[in-house]
A and B are shown apart, each in its own frame.
Chain A
């Protein structure tokens, strides 16, 4: 009998969530390393880096893989969340889920959706402008994404939105990283407590540093 394989089975669809999720985590690390230049680097350095990231062929190919991953992760996530809702048509009148599971683990779809809305706004303000917008040049004749970013974060509302979304991402990853390991079948009494701790520390360190950038720019 067919198991409906990697596309239709529940575990197969979960596998794609885990693989794309972990790939997005890897991307976040690279992205953060670049963005921290807004704090410690120079205008020229950041613009040079931005130009490199939008033109270097290997990075371009990776970026298409990244767009596909975001799309697959979001679509698969929505489909799984829909079928999960359908699996319990009548809800409990009295339910105490807090007794047995974390809020983040039960709110992955909501947290993911906040992240998705953020991604769209974020890409519109920086990615779209960098690729298709009319962008001023810096002294070296490079597109001046640095000034655009600084200007955006000087708007307190924009910075606040950014920080709130990073909190959502922190929650999403605090469950997501350990969850991805479990989905891939990597659970072992010796290592799993460590993986959980690492996932949580990593999640809050990442989202904290991302959130630090607009706060820093706003304050200086």
Chain B
């Protein structure tokens, strides 16, 4: 299949970028979206041009590195997958495809399609952990009885891969779905309850400091999230945060 690509090119964090047109021919419908970009980069290198920088690592939908806004949607038109799992058969011969970086003040562009998502790391460092004694006599995790329903919900929340599609797709560039997943995976379990209040307070504080927007419950994040993280988590974060604020300030 032959395609017209409109790719965001930007030299570095300070220079202004722009969409650039590329024609690419004979792309196999069985190739993945990132393989199609590899092909484009081979062409660019051959013609002496700078290849397009884009993030990727596992290419199997588990690491959360890939991060493209394809034709107006985070991770492209398909649901519940990352960009690396998107295949060219989702497009038609002759299609024009817009490829842009995830856009948010808290995700500044580093180069082309690569954005700096270390704001997520700083939110995690503010509270996305449990403090356990690792002196050698750690308690066996299975010694603590946990209701199946809680374990399932905690596990669902823990499947968040931190890709940032929720931020990219949200009209407010809000990070609430990500933060709520990271808070929920702990707060539902006894090991996480100990630090539940300070965790919610500190992670939300860091989220606000990073310049993410405020949630208006549009629900776009849940639809575009490759892992199907549910809005229920955001409601839980609201409860945890408001409860902690009222009792702890």
Contact = CB atoms under 8 A, between A and B. Distances in A.
A220 B35 CA distance: 69
B235 interface: yes
Nearest to A90: B103
A1 B174 CA distance: 22
A178 interface: yes
A92 B215 contact: no
A96 B71 contact: yes
B12 interface: no
A101 B218 contact: yes
Contacts of A96: 71-73
Interface residues of B, number: 54
B13 interface: no
A66 interface: no
B134 to A, nearest CB: 24
B199 to A, nearest CB: 11
Nearest to B243: A185
Given A15-B242, A182-B235, A84 B213 contact: yes
Contacts of B106: 87
Interface string A91-104: 11111110111100
Interface stretch (A2-10, A37-45, A128-136, A139-147): A2-10
B212 interface: yes
Contact of A13 (B72, B214, B238): B214
Contacts of A84: 171-174, 213-214, 216
Interface in A72-92: 80, 83-84, 86-92
Contacts of A186: 235
A99 to B, nearest CB: 6
A11 interface: yes
Contact of B105 (A88, A106, A179, A187): A88
Contacts of B235: 182, 185-187
Contacts of A188: 232
B233 to A, nearest CB: 9
B213 A88 contact: yes
B201 interface: yes
Given A84-B214, A108-B216, A100 B169 contact: yes
B207 interface: yes
A179 B217 contact: yes
B71 A100 contact: no
B231 interface: yes
B104 interface: yes
Given A87-B104, A94-B98, A10 B171 contact: no
A123 to B, nearest CB: 27
A105 B223 CA distance: 14
Contacts of A178: 217
A183 B238 contact: yes
- When A and B form their complex, which 8 residue pairs have the shortest distance between CB atoms, in order from nearest? A187-B235, A87-B213, A185-B239, A96-B72, A94-B98, A3-B201, A84-B172, A100-B223
23 contacts: A1-B205, A4-B208, A6-B242, A8-B208, A9-B205, A10-B207, A11-B241, A80-B216, A84-B214, A86-B105, A87-B105, A87-B174, A90-B103, A91-B103, A92-B100, A93-B6, A93-B98, A96-B72, A99-B77, A105-B216, A105-B217, A179-B216, A187-B232
